[in-house]
């Protein structure tokens, strides 16, 4: 009786298995970064005290509809930006830079500043997150920082402001933000580094950004 000469398939080499695992990991990382979550570091104090220089965040790119890389195509949004959302976006005057600010108003609303107080549709906002570091109040003829004529937010735009209200370059100076420049919503602060003390800020680890 003839012996069965059929050979068993060869096992992948260990090197090939490692290479495939690394490729899969890299592809998954790129997909997650492009469409779901991206890390972001806070470079300035414009959102103090909500966010400090040296804070590291995860940004939810999926919620507003992630953009397909190298195209103008976006996935459907889970929901639109809302007042109060802390949002990362491309700086409209230099698209190579990312900014992070708080959404103050959305399309159809009107924003006005009177002596540092923000009014939306004529109603003053309750903003417990805001910090003021300068007691001076500039008239609108000098700067829109503290007093600003009413600005209507058109369709497809949002109005962004920093929580460190006296030290933030935001929609008061360059107008409502085109929503197409939005990258995502700040989600979780996962790490914070105090560069002055050369120590981590353990009290700021792993909490939701609000």
Per-residue pLDDT of 34-78, as tens digits, reads: 445 789 999 999 999 999 999 999 999 989 987 776 677 777 889
- As given in the structure block, the two tokens for residue 57 are 């965040």
Q: Which residues pair with 7 in a beta bridge?
A: none
Domain ranges (residues) in the chain: 39-208
DSSP β-ladder status, 98-106 and 157-161: antiparallel
DSSP characters for 5-30? -PPPPPPPPHHHHHHHHHHHHHHHHH
CATH 2.10.109.10 fits 39-208, yes or no: yes
pTM more than 0.85: no
Least confidently predicted of 3-12, 28-37, 73-82, 180-189: 28-37
Cα separation, 171 vs 149, whole angstroms: 12
Per-residue pLDDT of 132-144, as tens digits, reads: 999 999 999 999 9
| Residue 15 burial (10 A CB sphere; 0-12, 13-18, 19+) | exposed
Catalytic residue positions? 46, 101
- As given in the structure block, the two tokens for residue 12 are 């992948």
Average pLDDT over residues 98-122: 98
Between the two ends of the chain, the Cα-to-Cα distance in Å is: 78
Q: Any idea what the Cα angle at residue 112 is, between residues 111 and 113, rounded to 5°?
A: 135
């Amino acid at each position: 009786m003839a012996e069965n000469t059929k050979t068993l398939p060869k096992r992948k080499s260990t090197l090939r298995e490692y290479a495939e695992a690394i490729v899969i990991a890299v592809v998954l990382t790129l997909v997650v970064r492009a469409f779901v979550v991206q890390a972001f570091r806070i470079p300035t104090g414009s959102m103090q005290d909500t966010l400090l220089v040296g804070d590291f965040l995860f940004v939810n790119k999926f919620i507003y509809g992630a953009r397909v890389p190298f195209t103008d195509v976006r996935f459907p949004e889970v929901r639109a930006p809302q007042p109060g959302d802390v949002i990362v976006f491309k700086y409209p005057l230099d698209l190579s830079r990312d900014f992070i600010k708080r959404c103050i108003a959305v399309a159809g609303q009107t924003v006005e500043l009177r002596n540092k107080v923000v009014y939306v549709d004529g109603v003053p906002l309750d903003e417990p997150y805001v910090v003021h570091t300068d007691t001076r109040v500039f008239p609108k003829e000098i700067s829109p920082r503290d007093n600003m004529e009413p600005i209507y937010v058109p369709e497809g735009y949002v109005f962004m402001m920093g929580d460190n209200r006296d030290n933030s370059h935001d929609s008061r100076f360059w107008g409502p933000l085109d929503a197409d420049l939005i990258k995502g919503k700040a989600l979780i602060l996962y790490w914070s580094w105090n560069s002055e003390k050369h120590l981590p800020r353990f009290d700021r680890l792993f909490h939701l950004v609000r």
